[in-house]
């Protein structure tokens, strides 16, 4: 019989949120985090400063009642602002309902709110500077090093939630066994973060209500607003070859590259060369596992189970969705961990694989396809179909970002059918007026069932 206490490795977004949920179920929760408390010192300054929060993440925060604490940190983004190479800008709305927007949030601010809420729970303890260095399957224990004095001790997996991120030491302890069958696939592109400060009066120097993209085919630059008036930029580029991080090795090459591809924004980045040459180069990759649990002892979740590339802005949203699902399963099955973990994997693994694929697709869309004039036309047709048949057609982007009640796998599968239909009906048209909308509606009704037959029950309506 399992005990009423649980151990969690990692106090990132996922580890902290699940800790709060399990503590509220009455479990005694211990969280072990390798870094210092980020409310005192940001251990990862320079790494993915802000993130896009969408419906699935908001739904999770709403379910634990902390969306109101997070709201002051959010900057709404209603669409993509494309910055074309010739200097033209083009705004493409993400959705057509007033509330169909996503939110830029600082990673640090969000983590600080979550940790503050966790700290207030008497049956939850946060243990910082405690590094899980490996898992011992036969003994069902984690070896932990106290980074403050170097001492070693063991923590029981009865059970253990491994929320220790993409490079999870718990997952990797099982490499070579069939337990998780984890595969890590690195993208050949990396990223560097830069920033545009607020203007002299604290004003934003680009439109604030958009996620800005400079799509350049094989690579791209993006910018997300922060509440203080500044923007965090992320340059995604191949690691080697022409126009790669390797080729941008000195000031001259950085200046030439930015003057060629991003002349409008280069002038707004005060420390361009220093930042490009000195900021860390981030790696991007996908983690896929065949299984996420070791009987009732260990469960991987969040990035430890399913890291994905960031191009759909969904890694954290998916990690939060994991927590919502687990919370529901614990409500239904209590501490029957073997059962809870098996159900969790059965419900969520295919969804994680689906969003992993869609995130990879979206890199090509963001850096390249958005430049095709047919992209805007297909989007216009998609909005028209959604307006006329909202229970039959929701654009794939909207299903992923705005509909927490539509599983990722369903969004992917319906998205394939919809994509073929949009391509077919825009092929010979140059504007929406040239498209036979009634024929498109007929085709849609033949090819797809109504959406209400496939919704899940993870989402609550936001008040």
Binder among 6, 8, 14, 18 for ligand FAD (CB under 6 A):
14
Residue 168 has φ and ψ, to the nearest 5°, of -35, 120
* Candidate list 96, 131, 243, 456; residue touching ligand FAD; CB under 6 A: 131
* Binding map of ligand FAD across residues 271-300, x = CB under 6 A, - = no contact: -----------x------------------
State the pairing for strand pair 152-156/5-9.
unpaired
291 or 388: CB nearest ligand FAD: 291
The secondary structure of residue 132, as a DSSP letter, is E
When binding is defined by CB under 6 A, the residue of 314, 335, 353, 418 that contacts ligand FAD is 314
Asked whether position 316 contacts ligand FAD by CB under 6 A, the answer is yes
3-state secondary structure 52-69: EECHHHHHHHHHCCCHHH
Is residue 313 close enough to count as binding ligand FAD by CB under 6 A? yes
The residue behind tokens 């690195």 is 186
The piece of 240-248, 252-260, 306-314, 367-375 that touches ligand FAD (CB under 6 A) is: 306-314
Coil, strand or helix at 193: strand
State which residue has the least CB distance to ligand FAD: 12
CB under 6 A: which stretch of 252-260, 315-323, 343-351, 440-448 binds ligand FAD?
315-323
Question: Does residue 138 sit in helix, strand or coil?
Answer: coil
**DSSP string covering 279-348:** SPPEEEEEEE-S-SEETTTEEE-THHHH---GGGS-HHHHHHHHHHHHHHHHHHHTT-HHHHHHHHHHHH
Find the binder of ligand FAD among 6, 8, 9, 77 (CB under 6 A). 9
Give the shortest CB-355-to-ligand FAD separation in angstroms: 10
Q: Do 89 and 233 meet the contact criterion of CB atoms below 8 Å apart?
A: no
**Cβ proximity of 58 and 462 under 8 Å:** yes
Nearer to ligand FAD, 110 or 381 (CB): 110
Task: Print burial letters for 310-330: b (CB count within 10 Å at least 16), e (below 16).
Answer: bbbbbbbbbbbbbbbbbbbbb
Q: How far is the CB of 356 from ligand FAD (least distance, A)?
A: 11
Asked whether position 351 contacts ligand FAD by CB under 6 A, the answer is no
Residue 80 near ligand FAD by CB under 6 A? no
**Residue count, binding to ligand FAD (CB under 6 A):** 32
Helix (H, G, I), strand (E, B) or coil at 16: helix
32 binds ligand FAD (CB under 6 A): yes
Quick one: 131 or 195, whose CB is closer to ligand FAD?
A: 131
Question: How many DSSP H helices and E strands does the chain contain?
Answer: 15, 19
Least distance in angstroms from the C-beta of 25 to ligand FAD: 19
Query: Which spans of this chain sit near ligand FAD (rule: CB under 6 A)?
Result: 9-15, 32-35, 48, 51-52, 131-132, 163-165, 169, 191, 234, 282, 302-303, 310, 313-317, 319
């Amino acid at each position: 019989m399992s005990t009423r206490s649980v151990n969690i490795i990692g106090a990132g977004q996922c580890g902290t949120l699940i800790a709060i949920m399990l503590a509220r179920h009455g479990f005694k929760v211990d969280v072990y985090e390798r870094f210092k408390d980020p409310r005192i010192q940001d251990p990862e300054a320079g790494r993915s400063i802000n993130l896009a929060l969408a419906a699935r993440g908001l739904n999770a925060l709403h379910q634990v009642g902390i969306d109101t604490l997070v709201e002051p940190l959010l900057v709404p983004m209603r669409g993509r602002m494309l910055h074309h190479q010739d200097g033209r800008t083009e705004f493409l709305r993400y959705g057509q309902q007033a509330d169909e927007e996503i939110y830029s949030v600082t990673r640090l601010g969000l983590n600080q709110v979550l940790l503050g809420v966790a700290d207030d729970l008497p049956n939850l303890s946060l243990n910082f500077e405690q590094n899980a260095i490996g898992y011992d399957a036969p003994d069902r224990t984690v070896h932990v090093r106290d980074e403050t004095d170097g001492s070693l001790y063991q923590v029981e997996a009865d059970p253990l939630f491994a929320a220790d991120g993409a490079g999870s030491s718990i997952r990797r302890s099982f490499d070579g066994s069939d337990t998780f069958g984890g595969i890590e696939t690195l993208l050949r592109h990396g990223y560097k973060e830069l920033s545009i400060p607020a203007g002299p009066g604290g004003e934003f120097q680009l439109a604030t209500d958009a996620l800005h993209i400079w799509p350049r085919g094989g690579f791209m630059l993006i910018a997300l607003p922060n509440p203080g008036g500044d923007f965090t930029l992320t340059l995604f580029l191949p690691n080697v070859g022409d126009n790669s991080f390797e080729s941008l090795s000195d000031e001259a090459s950085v200046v030439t590259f930015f003057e060629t591809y991003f002349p409008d924004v280069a002038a707004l980045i005060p420390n361009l060369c220093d930042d490009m040459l000195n900021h860390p180069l981030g790696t991007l990759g996908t983690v896929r596992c065949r299984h996420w649990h070791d009987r009732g002892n260990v469960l991987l979740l969040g990035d430890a189970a399913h890291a994905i590339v960031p191009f759909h802005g969904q890694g954290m949203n998916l990690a939060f969705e994991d927590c919502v699902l687990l919370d529901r399963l614990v409500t239904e099955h209590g501490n029957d961990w073997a059962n809870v973990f098996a159900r969790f994997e059965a419900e969520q693994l295919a969804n994680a694989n689906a969003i992993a694929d869609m995130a990879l697709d979206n890199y090509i869309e963001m850096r390249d396809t958005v430049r095709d004039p047919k992209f805007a036309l297909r989007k216009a047709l998609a909005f028209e179909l959604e307006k006329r048949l909202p229970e039959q057609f929701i654009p794939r982007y909207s299903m992923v970002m705005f509909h927490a009640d539509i599983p990722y796998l369903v969004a992917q599968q319906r998205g394939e059918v919809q994509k073929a239909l949009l391509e077919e009906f825009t092929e010979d048209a140059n504007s929406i007026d040239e498209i036979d909308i009634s024929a498109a509606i007929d085709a849609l009704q033949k090819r797809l069932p109504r959406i209400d037959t496939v919704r899940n029950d993870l989402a609550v309506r936001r008040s």
